[in-house]
Structures are given as structure tokens and as C-alpha cells.
Amino acid sequence: MTKCFNSARARPRGCSTRSLCLLSRRSGGAIVDGRIAAAAQEERFTRKKHDESFPAQAIAYCLKTARMTPADLDYIAFYERPLLKFDRLLETYLAFAPRGFAVFLKGMPLWMKDKLFIRRKIRAALPTAKAPVVFPEHHESHSASAFFPSPFEKAAILTLDGVGEWATSTLGVGEGGAIDLGYEMRFPHSLGLLYSAFTYCCGFKVNSGEYKLMGLAPSMRRSPPPSMILHRSTRRRRCSPRRAPGRSRRSSKIAAATRLTPGTKSSAVP
């Protein structure tokens, strides 16, 4: 069970609160008195798609748009708990070792160099800020982004995701300035990862092409059975890169035998 609290809703009228939220490692947003004052992605300034760098320019834009300085902030929030997520990754790698060792070697340097020390990077980027840095859980951030800007004083909250730290889906209640997530489904069980599996089977990149699959879904005129889609996608993925999808070895030999060479005529092949 996890709880999230919004001081802007709970404070008396006349009391102001200003917060800077790092919506991910690539974007940021500014909140003043419970209202979103600005939000931006770093890629809009660097012109690099999916820019993984710290969102320094996005933060500067949000503070300027909200007419704040780092010293004016009451809170600085990061969207998830890196240490708890790192714990899940380590347990998963150990459970499947030695399989996945190549992925482990590729991902660990980034964690040891950058992701585990996000508090230090925030402090370095905002040296004049005295506000505390808070780390809500991944699904708390999803719930807060939906409930706190809404006009409702009380609402049921359901979040469905690929995976956060350990939770993949949560169910709870938001009331006033607080969110209470009382139920959760934990990794590896995940509806979001199931959707990513279909994204991969359809030929798109995982954690990138899901929006394309959602955009294409309403464009289908006829709906073939799911078993047919899965069969075709699996066959396409398993085909050899040296042969075109669906071409058998016999058809490849026939095509090679009937290929014309200079000075020869085509002939039938039995």
C-alpha cells in the first residue's frame, strides 16, 4: 500500500506552493498552487529525438515560464524511485543468469554512472535550490498526474503500465490532497508488457512504437482472428535474413536456376 500527498490541495487559501517535477529523465514541469504552469521535453531544445540527457534546458524553460527561480521552489520531485527499480533489475538478472548477461553489461554502466545518482545531478543543476528532493513511486506519479489536476474531490484511480519499480498495475482512491493505492499487480505480470509483446510481433520497436500500434488499431477494416495475427508475426520474425519472408528453400533454388545470365535464354525447370 502506498500513499501520495499533494500539499497544494491541503494548504489553506492564501498559502502558495511551488514545485518542480522531473516527469522523466528527459522532461520537466513546473506546478504553482496545484496548477501546471509549464512543461517541456528536452528534445524540443536539443532537437534530438528521445534525448537521454538531463533536461537542463527544459527545466530552465519551465522556471522562466512560471516566473520562478530555483530558490523559490518548495519541492523538487522525481517521477520514480531509482533504488527500488535497481533492486528489481538486479533480482531479474540474477534469476535468469547467465542468460541476459549481454544486456546486463550494457545497462549497468548507465545505472552506476547516472541513474543511481539522480539526486546529485538535480542538486548540481539547481545549486541555489534549498527545496527537498522527493521520490514518489512510478505509479504514484501516474496517479497524481491524473487526479490532482482534475476537478474531482474524490475518485477511483486505476493505472496500467509496463512496469515501474515492481508494480505494473495499481488500484486506489484519491480524496482531497491524498492518494491511497491499496492494490497492485507486480512484475513480471503486466498488461503493458503484453501490449509491448504484440508491438514487437508487429515489427515495431518496444517502448517506442506502441503509439503507432494504437494509431493503426482503429484503421483496420476487417479484424482477423488474433491467432492468425500472432502466427504471421511469429513466422515473420523467425525467417532467415538471407531469404525473403515466406520463401521456401525449393522456391529459392528454382529462382536461382531460372535467373538469366548474359548470352543465355530462359528455360523451364521441372
For residue 68, give its domain range: 2-136
Mean pLDDT is lowest, of 114-128, 223-237, 247-261, for 247-261
Domain count, the chain: 2
For all residues of the chain together, what is the average pLDDT?
A: 80
pLDDT above 90: residue 81: yes
Cell of 190: 503486466
> Do 113 and 85 belong together in one domain?
yes
218 within some domain: no
Place of cell 517506442: 208
242 within some domain: no
> Do 65 and 126 belong together in one domain?
yes
More confident residue, 261 or 150: 150
33 within some domain: yes
Per-residue pLDDT tens over the stretch 134-161? 999 999 999 999 999 899 999 999 999 9
155 within some domain: yes
* Per-residue model confidence (pLDDT) at position 229: 55
* Per-residue model confidence (pLDDT) at position 270: 39
Last residue of a domain, one of 92, 112, 136: 136
CB contact at 8 A, 7 and 145: no
Q: Which range has the top average pLDDT, 2-6, 48-52, 57-61, 237-241?
A: 57-61
Cα–Cα nearest to 68, from 126, 3, 139: 126
* Per-residue model confidence (pLDDT) at position 34: 83
* Per-residue model confidence (pLDDT) at position 131: 92
Q: Which range has the top average pLDDT, 18-22, 111-115, 148-152, 232-236?
A: 148-152
> Do 32 and 73 belong together in one domain?
yes
Residue 182 three-state SS: strand
How much of the chain, in percent, has pLDDT values that exceed 90?
48
The continuous run of DSSP H or E covering 186 comes out as strand 178-186
> Do 151 and 164 belong together in one domain?
yes
Per-residue pLDDT tens over the stretch 191-227? 999 999 989 988 898 888 898 888 888 877 666 566 6
Burial of 174 (0-12, 13-18, 19+ CB in 10 A): buried
Mean pLDDT is lowest, of 15-29, 39-53, 61-75, 122-136, for 15-29
Distance (Å, whole) CA 191 – CA 161: 7
> Do 31 and 130 belong together in one domain?
yes
* Per-residue model confidence (pLDDT) at position 49: 84
pLDDT above 80: residue 33: yes
CB contact at 8 A, 59 and 27: no
> Do 113 and 43 belong together in one domain?
yes
Last residue of a domain, one of 179, 213, 247: 213
pLDDT above 90: residue 184: yes
pLDDT above 60: residue 255: no
Cα–Cα nearest to 62, from 44, 80, 82, 81: 44
Q: Which residues neighbour 30 within 8 Å (Cβ) at sequence distance 6 or greater?
A: 18, 19, 20, 21, 36, 37, 38, 39, 62, 63, 65, 66, 68
pLDDT band at 126 (very low <50, low <70, confident <90, very high): very high
Q: Which residues neighbour 166 within 8 Å (Cβ) at sequence distance 6 or greater?
A: 84, 88, 186, 187
pLDDT band at 97 (very low <50, low <70, confident <90, very high): confident
CB contact at 8 A, 193 and 206: no
Residue 38 three-state SS: strand
List the beta bridge partners of residue 4. 179
